[in-house]
A and B are shown apart, each in its own frame.
Chain A
């Protein structure tokens, strides 16, 4: 049973380009969470999704950021028109059906560098 898979592991984008980060949850997990870790800071919640639904996006910046978790395929975190301040490690976590009582498993992260 593979763990949470994120790709790419490293992503370099020029200012103004789009960044797409992908996350495949663990087998049997239907809940996906995205977190961001800025340099020298802790992890901050961004968004919580279930299949085809955004449950809680209160941690997402109001502009340029969007997330989806389609019926088929991985969850995608999209950042449009990236700026230097978007440079960070983006982590995805997944959990089973009853997300409130089960353990969250994290992927290895995608490290985005905006140049």
Chain B
């Protein structure tokens, strides 16, 4: 059974800091890994999708890496802004199934 863990559960940083969010998964047989952002009371916005054959993806100030063999992914946010405050979720798509398995999320607060 695939389990996804995100550390830390919550993070508060001052504006301008670079930060790293961590995601680990127990079954390395995955097709892809996605990072999402969820604002309070809102839906999920896809940030980055990394295929199992890829090592990283970048979009603007965001960079996600994937080490499938060790079951880890990181989301790097450069020069954080108050508008980055949200819950960040990682989800993996197993090779043997059709569902995304989500972590519990990291609640990020960027203070002005």
A107 contacts which chain B residues (CB < 8 A)? Answer: 43
A49-70 to B contact mask, C-beta < 8 Å, 1/0 = 0000001100100000000000
Interface class of chain A by DSSP? strand
Instruction: Write the residues of chain A forming the contact surface with B, with a CB cutoff of 8 angstroms.
Output: 6, 33, 35, 41-45, 48, 55-56, 59, 91, 93, 99-101, 103-109, 111
**Listed residue (B46, B91, B99, B100) with the most chain A CB atoms within 10 angstroms of its CB:** B99
A106 contacts which chain B residues (CB < 8 A)? Answer: 36, 43-46
How far is B58's CA from A72's CA once the two chains are assembled, in angstroms?
Answer: 38
Given A103-B46, A106-B44, verify A45-B104 contact (CB < 8 Å). no
B51 contacts which chain A residues (CB < 8 A)? Answer: 101
Contacting pair A56 B46 (CB below 8 A): no
Nearest neighbor of B95 in chain A, beta-carbon distance: A100
Residue B93 contacts which of A55, A56, A100, A105 (CB distance < 8 angstroms)? A100
A48 contacts which chain B residues (CB < 8 A)? Answer: 98-99
Q: List 19 A-B contacts (CB under 8 A).
A: A6-B43, A33-B98, A42-B89, A42-B103, A42-B104, A43-B100, A44-B102, A45-B101, A48-B98, A56-B97, A91-B43, A93-B44, A100-B31, A100-B95, A104-B100, A105-B46, A106-B44, A108-B42, A109-B43
How far is B43's CA from A17's CA once the two chains are assembled, in angstroms?
Answer: 25
B100 contacts which chain A residues (CB < 8 A)? Answer: 33, 35, 43, 45, 93, 104
